[in-house]
């Protein structure tokens, strides 16, 4: 299940931070101290090498998230914090799904499903195939639902990365 299709309130926090050692630890430690669970976190460099962007997804009420944002802003390495509205945000996630392959019909089914979801097979052995799917969490979850009938060996998901639409 994706954070964006769960029953509790979903929040996406984009945090621009200085790109230096220890920043991820300080941010994650803030959540730990507040006893708050991070659903997913992705971190990567930005267009400026001195900054990284963290995309943090979490479930919680507005008051708790507002308090976390205030606490985040007190971390010296945090440059900017934005609460992203999912309706005005481009969201992507990457998933690698390793599937059981029992026979050539299953192999053919996996190839067909991969094409339907605009995924690609990135590894194949005698008894497994690994499919890469990039898209919204809903798209990945839909593929996983179909793939579960085949038999999933292993899943690795990156978590959301997001950016606001427009200028």
Tokens of 137: 């969490």
Q: Indicate the class that CATH gives domain 90-164.
A: alpha beta
Residue pLDDT tens, the chain, 167 long: 344 444 457 899 999 999 999 999 999 999 899 888 899 999 999 999 999 999 999 988 888 889 899 999 999 999 999 999 988 999 999 999 999 999 999 999 999 999 999 999 999 999 999 999 999 999 999 999 999 999 999 999 999 999 999 87
3-state class (DSSP) for residue 131: strand
- Domain 3-84: what homologous superfamily? ACT domain (3.30.70.260)
Of residues 61, 55, 69, the one with CA closest to residue 24:
55
| Among 35, 52, 45, 41, residue whose Cα is nearest residue 12 | 41
Distances (CA, A) of 159 to 43, 84, 96: 10, 15, 12
Q: Environment class of residue 96 by beta-carbon count within 10 Å: exposed (0-12), middle (13-18) or buried (19+)?
A: middle
Task: Spell out the domain ranges in the chain.
Answer: 3-84, 90-164
The two domains 3-84 and 90-164 share their CATH topology (first three levels equal): yes
pTM: 0.83
């Amino acid at each position: 299940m994706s954070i964006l299709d769960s029953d509790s309130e979903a929040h996406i926090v984009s945090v621009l931070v200085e790109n230096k050692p220890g920043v991820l630890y300080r941010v994650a430690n803030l959540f730990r101290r507040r006893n708050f669970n991070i659903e997913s976190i992705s971190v990567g460099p930005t267009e400026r090498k001195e900054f990284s962007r963290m995309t943090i997804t979490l479930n919680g009420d507005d008051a708790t998230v507002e308090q976390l944002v205030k606490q985040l802003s007190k971390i010296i390495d945090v440059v900017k914090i934005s609460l992203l509205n999912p309706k005005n945000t481009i969201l992507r996630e990457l998933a690698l799904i390793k599937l059981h392959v029992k026979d050539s019909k299953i192999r053919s089914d996996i190839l067909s499903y991969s094409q339907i979801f605009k995924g690609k097979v990135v590894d194949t052995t005698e008894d497994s195939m690994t499919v890469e799917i990039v898209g919204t969490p809903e798209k990945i979850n839909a593929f996983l639902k179909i793939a579960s009938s085949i038999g999933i060996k292993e899943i690795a998901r990156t978590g959301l990365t997001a950016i606001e639409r427009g200028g």
